[in-house]
Amino acid sequence: MATASTSSSLATAELPPLRAQDRTLQPSPDALGPLRRSDDAVDDPDELWRRLDADGYLYLPGYLDREEVLAARRDIATSLAAEGILDPGADPMLAVPGPSEHNRIFDDLAKASGPLQRVLYAGAMVRLYERMFGEPVRHYDYTWLRAVRPGRGTAPHGDSVFMNRGTPNLLTAWVPLGDVDLRLGGLMLLEGSNRLESVRRDYHTRDVDAFCESDEQAAELAREGRWSWNGVFSPDPVALRADLGLRWVTGEYAAGDVVTFPMYTLHGSLDNTSTRVRLSCDLRYQRASEPADPRWVGASPTAHGPASKRGLIC
C-alpha cells in the first residue's frame, strides 16, 4: 500500500468504507477527496499563503526527516508502554494497545522527550514558520501528544474555540508519529471551511473556557476545571459536509509528513478501525511579536483547568 508521501489517493479497493464518528463518509468526489500536496511550493511563502487561504490547509509530505520522527516515536512509545497505554510485552514501535484506558493529552511525556522536542520545535519546523511568517516565531509551550486507541476519532471542530485569547494568526501543525494508513485513521479537514464568514461570526467567537456566571451548573463545572461545552462544531461529519456544501479531504500519512492549517479550518479525524494505537502530535506556531493565548504558554500552562475559566455576565 502506498504511503501519503508517494500517493494521496483514496481509491484503495481492499479498504472498508471510511468512517468518522461511527458514520460512513460518502465516497463521491464532491464529498470526499485526497489532500492537495504543497511540497512543491515549500520555498515559496506567497504561494503557501495563497493555498492556505484557498484550501484551508497545507499538506507537506516528507517535510521532516523520517528517521528523526521514528526516533521520537520510539522514545514516546517506550514511555507509553511503561504506563500501560501500550502493551509492555510488545515492540513499542507496533503501538499495540495496553491494559490502561486513558482520556488525556500526554503533554508531560512530550516535554520529557528530547527526540520529540527536536522534531517539533527545532530545525525544519522552525524554518517553515519563519519562512511563512517572515519574522521570528514562537510556539505554544503545551504539546498535544495523542495516543488514540481503536474506536471513534475526534469530532469536527475548529481550534479557535480552544485557543482564541491570543493572536488569530495562529497555525496548527499536525505531525503523525509513524505511518498512518486509512484504517489507523488520520486527520481529515473540511476543505475551504476557513473561508466561511458565517461560521467565523458565530462558532469561532465562542470560548470553551467561558461560562455564564448566572448558570449555576456551568459555574460548578468551571470550578472543577471542566467544560460546559466541549467545542464540537457538529457530531455528524456527514450531515455537516452536506449542510456546508464542502468536502472532506484526507489520506494516508507517513512519518515525516506535516499538515498545517489556520484556527478557522474545521477538522477532525477518521475513526481508528485498526487494532493499534495511533500516535500523533498537534502543536501551534505564531509570530513572536503577537500575543499568545496565556492558557498554553509558560512553564506550567493552565490549559483548560480551573485557572483558565472565565465567568461572563450573560
Amino acid at 121: Y
Give CA–CA dist 44/125, Å, rounded.
Answer: 15
* Res. 9 pLDDT band, cuts 50 70 90: low
Q: Is the separation of the CB atoms in 163 and 297 below 8 Å?
A: no
pLDDT digits (tens, 9 = 90+) for 299-311: 999 999 999 999 9
Q: What are phi and psi of 74, to 5 degrees?
A: -60, -40
Give CA–CA dist 268/238, Å, rounded.
Answer: 12
For the ranges 1-10, 73-82, 109-118, 137-146, which has the lowest average pLDDT?
1-10
* Res. 216 pLDDT band, cuts 50 70 90: confident
| pLDDT for the residue numbered 5 | 38
What value does the mean pLDDT take over residues 228-241? 96
Instruction: Record the cell numbers describing residue 200, joined without a space.
Output: 467565523
Strand intervals (E) in the chain? 19-20, 23-24, 32-34, 58-60, 137-139, 144-148, 171-176, 187-190, 210-212, 248-250, 258-262, 267-269, 278-287, 310-312
pLDDT digits (tens, 9 = 90+) for 92-103: 999 999 999 888
pLDDT at 244 over 80: yes
Give CA–CA dist 231/247, Å, rounded.
Answer: 21
* Residues near 170 by beta carbon (within 8 Å), at least 6 away in sequence: 159, 163, 262, 263, 284, 285, 286, 293
Instruction: Record the cell numbers describing residue 220, joined without a space.
Output: 460548578
- Closest residue by Cα to residue 314 from 218, 179, 189, 250: 218
> DSSP string covering 151-212, please?
B--PPSB-GGGGS-SS-S--EEEEEESS-B-TTT--EEEETTGGG-HHHHHTGGG--TTEEE
| pLDDT for the residue numbered 162 | 98
pLDDT at 61 over 80: yes
